[in-house]
Structure 1
Amino acid sequence: MTTHQSQRLQALDGLRAVSIAFVFMSHIGFGHLFPGGLGVTIFFFISGFIISKLMLAEWDATGSVSIRNFYVRRIFRLTPALLVFVFISLVLMSVAGDGWKWEEVASVFFYFANYYGIYSSFSGDLIKQPLAITWSLAVEEHFYFIFPFLFMGFVSLPKKFLGLITTILLAMLAWRVYLVLAMGLDNLPHYRIYTATDTRADSILYGVALSLVFARYPELARQLSRWRVFFLGAFLLLLTLAIRNEEFRESLRYSLQGIALFCMFPTLVYSKNRMSSLLQLPLVVYVGRISYSLYLYHWLVTHSVAHFLPELATLPRIVLITLLSLLSAHLSYRYIEQTFQNLGRKLML
């Protein structure tokens, strides 16, 4: 791997750290300053970008993509850490006196937790619904049940591929607008648009589109790397946060944030500047690498501390939650994630 490629990967990990920071700060009580939903959107965008980048590299090197290996990587990347997290969650819920149902566990491992949360409800009043945090994993996996086959059908036709992606992005925007304006937010279940695959998976697809542009249209990629494009994206992103109208937030916001990230991402990842240097700081990179486990555990830790130590003052509570979340994520990454990813790589040889 070249030094430039390594820097790109480190910058991507740095962006993961930014996204989990938004989610974490929102969930520990600073949601008025740190929009957790934006953190998830950035997660989705990065996921689409990285996976497409890897698949394009494999296609260019070998002329094919192993769908078997794709799913083996996904299983060994996500499932072991998720299994341990669910076990610990159920133990803590039982100790706290919260009941839980087997269908909730099934919704996590069969990846329908987002729709389960919309149309039913996860258990956990004392330790607040720890399994509900897996809704975003369901969105990603639904996308990746389909995407490899879509990729194989269109990878050799980049113009048609981008055209198809654009069509799907517009169709999903139109679907959100229909739900919001025609059906009405009052007639939709809570979080219907925020957590459902059919209304959120386009955030992943924006990342796919950018990866395809960088792989197949280098001149366009150079134009996207200009500072004026970055500032346009930054302005658009701030606009989506400033407008508080619920109809806007549930319909146009996700599309505009996807466009904003499309504009900002090249400068943050593919250019050398102070921002990209900050993203490559060792501590920032490491937080990005443990971000999956940190995403899983921070919610469980936050509400476990609230239940078992209810008298703890605000500052010690935040410090304790931060330390326990980072420790849990580090242990999960070091001993679960890395161990099973290495095993997965051996199985693909």
Structure 2
Amino acid sequence: MNNSSRLQALDGLRAVSILLVLISHAWLGHIVPGGLGVTIFFFISGFIITRLMIREWDKNGAMNIKKFYLRRFFRLLPALLVFVVIALSVMYAAHVEWRWVELFAVFFYFANYFDIFVGFSGHTLPSPLGITWSLAIEEHFYMVFPFAFVLLIASPRRFLQLIATLIVSILLWRLYLVYGVGQEHLARFRIYKATDTRADSILYGSCLALLLARYPGTHQVLNSRWLATGGAALLLATLLYRSEDFRESWRYSLQGIALLMMFSTLVLQQGLAARILGSRPMAYIGRVSYSLYLYHWLMLGAITFWLPDWSLLSRMALLLVASFVLSDLSYRLIEQPFQRFGHPYSH
């Protein structure tokens, strides 16, 4: 596959992740696994960032960490700032008071731990700011990863060993929390939303990018359709086994392995799956996924608060239409212009 279509299929896989989250939150969480969507999103994020870092390193013989953070700034912060202003307006209209510390939690990226141990304002209206918990996990990861990359990329074997050690360590930590401490003694969402228990989902993507770039034989191994089929079966098994302890301990790890097994067939090959993921509608949804992730939660809260008596189908339709309209506007009017503005400073 050429580079362009490969990225389109990757956008399509990102579309799958956000659609899982959106549909799950659209009052169908008992049927659609929204948590899997978040795990896929983390995996893709780790893969893309590591892939881009390797490409920059191979081209220039170095990686500019300052420009890396500038790209993150122009990519994420303007749209987040506008979203927060709109979210606060909605909260004001719903007579929900908020605290300044909640804004600090969002913009200084500790929203996940704040949500776990303190909680965002809002009972009648789910706080729109709470959705930023996953952004915090990603940013915690990227506060550290670029420095590890610069130190270790010249020695891929050592880098891979570090990633593998972290992946195993996080799994062992989850196992201790679930089976040693017990979930009944943990704060709600302690494992699901915490960086120290979820960062391995990003590391699996980074691991794959490093393997593909530095170990050529990886391509041949991952191109096996039998491997992809086994990955799909493993992924399905993690969803069918309903144990809460399993879900918060082993499942994230097994899903990371399953995505590794399936990735080549889904994204890198010229097969049916990659063609579907690379289609224009799926690629478009993937491109607007950041804003769609933010605004669907805002609209969910607003609809729940102001239109609770509407039928399920009416609420779902409004949620989908309003979320896509707002995310498209955010993408075209905020994300793209600010990325163009920041391009001379970050490239």
Gaps of 5+ in 2: none
Cα distance in 1 for partners of 2:75, 2:346 equals 13
Task: From 156, 162, 165, give the equivalent of 2:163.
Answer: 165
Work out the number of aligned pairs and report it.
347
Tell me what 1:176 maps to.
Answer: 174
Normalising by the residue count of structure 1, what TM-score does the alignment of the two structures yield? 0.98
Return the letter of the residue paired with 1:87: V
Tell me what 1:81 maps to.
Answer: 79
User: Residue by residue, what CA displacement relative to the aligned partner does 1:213-243 show, whole Å, maximum 9, x if unpaired?
Assistant: 1101111222112101101111111111111
Once the two structures are superposed, the pairs formed by residues 133-212 of structure 1 within 5 Å of their partners are 133-212=131-210
Task: Tell me the CA shift for residue 331 of structure 1.
Answer: 0.3
Once the two structures are superposed, the pairs formed by residues 219-238 of structure 1 within 5 Å of their partners are 219-238=217-236
Q: Does 1:338 align with 2:323?
A: no
Return the letter of the residue paired with 1:276: A
Task: Tell me the CA shift for residue 30 of structure 1.
Answer: 1.2
Once the two structures are superposed, the pairs formed by residues 16-55 of structure 1 within 5 Å of their partners are 16-55=14-53
Q: Does 1:263 align with 2:261?
A: yes
| Other structure's SS at 2:109 match | coil
Once the two structures are superposed, the pairs formed by residues 66-77 of structure 1 within 5 Å of their partners are 66-77=64-75
| Other structure's SS at 2:192 match | helix
Q: Does 1:109 align with 2:110?
A: no
Cα distance in 1 for partners of 2:69, 2:346 equals 11
Normalising by the residue count of structure 2, what TM-score does the alignment of the two structures yield? 0.98
| Other structure's SS at 1:192 match | coil
Q: State the Cα RMSD in Å.
A: 0.9
Tell me what 2:280 maps to.
Answer: 282
Task: From 229, 244, 247, give the equivalent of 1:246.
Answer: 244
Cα distance in 1 for partners of 2:268, 2:93 equals 48
Q: Does 1:321 align with 2:319?
A: yes
Q: Is contact 1:16–1:43 with CA below 8 Å preserved after alignment?
A: yes
Q: Is contact 1:52–1:212 with CA below 8 Å preserved after alignment?
A: yes
Cα distance in 1 for partners of 2:284, 2:125 equals 28
Return the letter of the residue paired with 2:17: S
Return the letter of the residue paired with 2:74: F
Return the letter of the residue paired with 1:122: F
Cα distance in 1 for partners of 2:341, 2:258 equals 37
Q: Is contact 2:68–2:346 with CA below 8 Å preserved after alignment?
A: no
Of 17-26 and 121-130, deviating more is: 121-130
